[in-house]
Structure 1
Amino acid sequence: MLKLIVGTKGSGKTKTMIDMIDKAVKTTSGNIVVIEKCMKLTTEINHSARLVDVDEYGVAGADMLYGFVAGVLAGNYDITELFLDGILRITDHDMAAAAKVLNAIDKITSNIEVVVTVSADAADLPEDLKKFVI
């Protein structure tokens, strides 16, 4: 199940996601993976969640992000929550590419809660993504 935390820069999206990660750490029986760019959450999230920096793996663009997420999921069937911070930074601020990869990720994560932050105004989202906004 895909959920989007949407808002402009500085609106508290990452803080909301950190709170969701902390709650998941306390309640989940599976594994939690947090994917981000630049490792800014290193000291802010519980060490029980697996933090992965896409820069360490050379991930750039929507297609590479999809392959990376699919590989992470294929490598660990115990993942119950996946958090992705700042998708537009990874897709070079290409909203159409971000929408495409989010829809593709949604198709392969039917049993996993996926939470993604999007730095944009909700009105600027493509119509097919608005249904995922929380």
Structure 2
Amino acid sequence: MIKVICGKKGVGKTRVLVETANNLASENSGDVVFIDGTGQSMYDLKHKVRFINLSEFPVRINRACSFLGFLCGIISEDYDIKGVFVDDITGIIEDEIETLSGFFEEVDKLSSKFNIEFHFSIEGDPQSMPDFIKAYY
């Protein structure tokens, strides 16, 4: 399953992601991973949520292909992952949103194969998003 939370800056997308991640972690049904590029959410997450701040890595993971590889590495390291939360995917991946159809198709395959929920936040007007994004609202 892929779920996208889309909205303009300041509407509470990160808060919703954090609350959902914390709730999933409380269910004790598997591990939960929260990824962002700034570290701002680290103290809002429960200690059971594995937090990854991409700005701490020496290599920029700023393309869809490299970020997909990063996700695969996380999954291959821990087969108990139940949920992956990515705050501001378009801030992490510098590719244009219209070109991310293949990325979401591959994430959907990962989700099905490993039974993982993926949650992404995207900054922007929900009505102007491409149809492949709207399918995940």
Please confirm whether the aligned pair reaches a TM-score higher than 0.5, indicating the same fold: yes
The residue aligned with 2:32 is 32
Q: Provide Cα deviations, 1:81-106, integer angstroms capped at 9, x if missing partner.
A: 11011100011262124443222211
* Distance in 2 between residues matched to 1:98 and 1:118, nearest whole Å: 12
Q: Provide Cα deviations, 1:58-94, integer angstroms capped at 9, x if missing partner.
A: 2122111111011111111000011011100011262
* Distance in 1 between residues matched to 2:73 and 2:14, nearest whole Å: 24
Name the TM-score, length of structure 2 as normaliser: 0.90
Work out the number of aligned pairs and report it: 133
* CA-based RMSD: 1.4
Give the AA of the match of 2:62: A
Identity %: 27
What's the secondary structure of 2:62's corresponding residue? coil
5+ unaligned residues in a row in structure 2: which ranges? none
Give the AA of the match of 1:113: E
Name the TM-score, length of structure 1 as normaliser: 0.92
* Distance in 1 between residues matched to 2:75 and 2:15, nearest whole Å: 25
Which deviates more, 5-14 or 87-96?
87-96
Q: How does 1:8-87 map to 2 (within 5 A)?
A: 8-57=8-57, 58=59, 59-87=61-89
Give the AA of the match of 1:11: V
Q: In structure 2, which of residues 127, 130, 134 is the aligned counterpart of residue 130 of structure 1?
A: 134
Q: How does 1:87-126 map to 2 (within 5 A)?
A: 87-92=89-94, 94-110=96-112, 111-126=115-130
Q: Is the 8 A contact 2:90 2:123 kept in 1?
A: yes
